[in-house]
Copies of this chain bind each other. A is one copy, B any other.
Amino acid sequence: VVITVSVVGATGFAGAVLTDLLSRHPGVRIDALTSASYAGLTVANVFPNLRVDAVYQPYDCDRLASTDIAFVCYPHAESFPVVAELVDAGMKVIDLSADFRLKDPDLYPEWYGFEHTREDLVAEAVYGLPELYREEIACARLVANPGCYPTSMLLGFLPLTGRFRLSGVIVDSKSGVSGAGRKASDKTHFCSVHDDFRAYAEVGHRHTAEMVQELSLAAGEPVPISFTPHLLPVDRGILSTLYCRLTDASGLTVLPSANELRELYEAYYQDEPFVEVVSAVPALSEVQETNFCRMAVRVDAAAGMVKVVSVIDNLVKGASGQAVQNMNIMCGFDERLGVEGRA
């Protein structure tokens, strides 16, 4: 064991997966798991399926002083003051909320309904997608762990951005219910979801801003995105069906062959430990409980479009697994340590 870690807000779904992953990670010791609602209870009290021997405690920045890395799993707007306090106290922080993902502080009131008061940290935070920002993550004090939908989308489009211009970008995503969080509501009642299916936040879902920011950065120009999330009657996983048209620099439509695209994708991700380019379109079950993003690319010649189907587990590569992957990079561990197995 080399470092100590703490999870702040450990009793949501992402917190539970993170607790499980960290408890089995050979390079870390868990310092503290905090919870406002469950302080005093054991992990087994709250999550009988976890076999982690620990007790939740109230959050107290001072008591985390010995922690090398803190993971913060608070809801947006509640997260950034705690993150700021921890960073100011000298800890490295991986924030799983959206509070440091957007580069432009003015976007927070518009998309998340709160005023950000730590523009310094917004400027400093590194967007924690290892496939894009591995080197910056290695030196970061504060990592903004990506959203689940943006992760599934960005990994699917990135190989294209360097080579083509993208237009007509459509992101049609389907997510398991754990993405809606652990809080009970009409919308997550079993009888509202089971044997059912629906779209939600059909225009203007909050992840759109994050998607547009990062895809535009990768593309070197603004890329509008039409994003539609849907709620699947499954527990975990996101499948995104991605559509776009490709043009060359002069704006002429180009349509590569399926083989060319497959090779482009394989080359782009050949050294990535957690991205798999496959030939048969992947199902959710191929990545559930893993940190892998698996994808296949198709050419729809008759319609002049490229399609990519990508799958991740929203709680692992879309949240806690990616957070551990980021921790590994920040600490000089092998990037796969503790996230290669089931989570």
Write the residues of chain A forming the contact surface with B, with a CB cutoff of 8 angstroms. 13, 24, 48-49, 168-170, 172, 174, 177-178, 182, 184-186, 188-200, 202-204, 208, 224-226, 228, 230, 232-235, 237, 239, 241, 243, 245, 278, 280-289, 296, 298-300, 302-305, 307, 309, 341-342
Contact = CB atoms under 8 A, between A and B. Distances in A.
Contact of A177 (B186, B191, B304): B191
A286 B48 contact: yes
A191 B191 contact: no
Given A48-B286, A342-B341, A239 B203 contact: no
A226 B228 CA distance: 16
Given A224-B302, A281-B199, A24 B239 contact: no
Given A230-B174, A241-B230, A289 B184 contact: no
23 contacts: A48-B278, A48-B282, A48-B286, A49-B285, A49-B287, A169-B303, A170-B170, A172-B241, A177-B191, A177-B194, A184-B188, A190-B190, A191-B235, A194-B194, A194-B234, A198-B283, A208-B302, A224-B302, A226-B300, A232-B232, A232-B233, A233-B233, A289-B342
Contact of A198 (B208, B239, B278): B239
A234 B196 contact: yes
A306 to B, nearest CB: 9
B190 A194 contact: yes
Contacts of A203: 298-300, 307
Contacts of A228: 241, 307
B235 A194 contact: yes
A184 B48 CA distance: 21
A239 B231 CA distance: 12
A48 B283 contact: yes
Question: Which of A191, A203, A241, A287 is most buried by chain B, counting CB atoms within 10 A of its CB?
Answer: A191
